[in-house]
Structure 1
């Protein structure tokens, strides 16, 4: 706990499935590496967490690959996850639909256990489209799955949505070989350009949860407009 209190790191929820947990670890390790290379954010290695026993409060972002039985959480875990979201944490739920992950029904079952706010498809002007890179969509290993975010207007947690949900299998897109740092899974159908956009989404996501919603300020619009014109 002391180490986590002095370092910033991402977390992933342990599912009990060894391969899913391996991909989550390698994916968030790869994303943390790219974030360190391209931004001023210093992320330490990610940590797998069990909501039933671990302190979640140290992590600005948790990646949660939704697997069969994910909704079968204990009351202790439910209380801790709700407190995490209410106190500034953000969870990215990923159904990984085209990779054999859980279907949307499993995510709905999980959502019924948690205090998840009303969600909408991320609008074209959402802060996630411009928190570092300018983006039009949010691909992962797959593309085409909508990204769901908290409905605008709540303005809690500095305007940062406590929940993001989709099915593009982001961890698999970010996963790099530990020795060669080569990508482990193909990005379909867009190849390496799609993977680059997946990393850009990951960087935008990290900047979003670390800095809040300041990119929504009007003062940033002139610079953004200039960049769009380049």
Structure 2
């Protein structure tokens, strides 16, 4: 089995605010698997979103929202087409299709600060999701991959949509095979809940940003 950790740094403009995110991904999969292989993956991500301060009754109000996302799932390779030749890592070039199913946990922490008083609120929920992953080796060095899933189904959020695409380049770093990646990620979540006092909380947010990262094989 090969363990391929991926560490990504995400940045860019969110529809909510300018934010920064950190994400990591780990996968367990056979090195030269063919159609019908079963694998497991997990993804951890976090982001801090800070809105510009506003003013209410001549008092400056600051708002900071921190999101933490953990996703784990399994995917099954249903299609594997050999493209001929090998990658620079010695693997067979191929095009693959892998349906996936899993769970995504989201936690929000919000802090409002008016100087003389502060307020902290938090919420978390768990969404099931189903989706598909695609990957194709363009050349012995270049790879194009993408994945998309839909979830929520009124179990956690009403609806959650996640999509991402990456262009990868195979090279070597510290004497280890390495894939450098650049891409784009889209995440939309529609979540609503209430508490015992009748107050409602609604998180209907779309975030999208470019992504850069790498994976290293040990």
TM-score range, shorter-chain basis? under 0.3
Q: Which has the greater radius of gyration?
A: 2
Instruction: Decide which structure has greater strand share.
Output: 2
TM-score (ref. length: structure 2) = 0.26
Higher relative contact order (CA 8 A, sep 6+): 1
